[in-house]
A and B are shown apart, each in its own frame.
Chain A
Amino acid sequence: MTKSDLIKRLAEANPHLTLRDVERIVATVFDEIAAALARGDRVELRGFGAFSVRERAARTGRNPRTGEEVAVPDKVVPHFKTGKDLRERLNAHS
Chain B
Amino acid sequence: MTERTITRADLAEAVYQEVGLSRSESATLVDSLLDQIADSLLSDGAVKISAFGSFVVRWKGERVGRNPKTGEEVPIAPRRVLVFRASQVLKDRLNAAHESEAAS
CB-contact partner of A78 in B6, B40, B53, B77, under 8 A? B53
- The closest CB in chain B to the CB of A86 belongs to B38
CB-contact partner of A38 in B36, B83, B93, under 8 A? B93
Question: What is the number of residues of chain B that contact chain A, defined by CB distance less than 8 Å?
Answer: 55
Q: Are B57 and A90 in contact (CB under 8 A)?
A: yes
Indicate the size class of the contact surface on chain A.
35 or more
Q: Are B33 and A44 in contact (CB under 8 A)?
A: no
Q: How close is B3's CB to chain A, nearest CB, in angstroms?
A: 6
Q: Are A87 and B82 in contact (CB under 8 A)?
A: yes
CB-contact partner of B11 in A29, A76, A87, under 8 A? A29
Residues of chain B within 8 A (CB-CB) of A80 are: 55, 82-84
- The closest CB in chain A to the CB of B100 belongs to A38
Q: Are B14 and A29 in contact (CB under 8 A)?
A: yes
Known: A3-B49, A82-B82. A38 touches B40 (CB 8 A): no
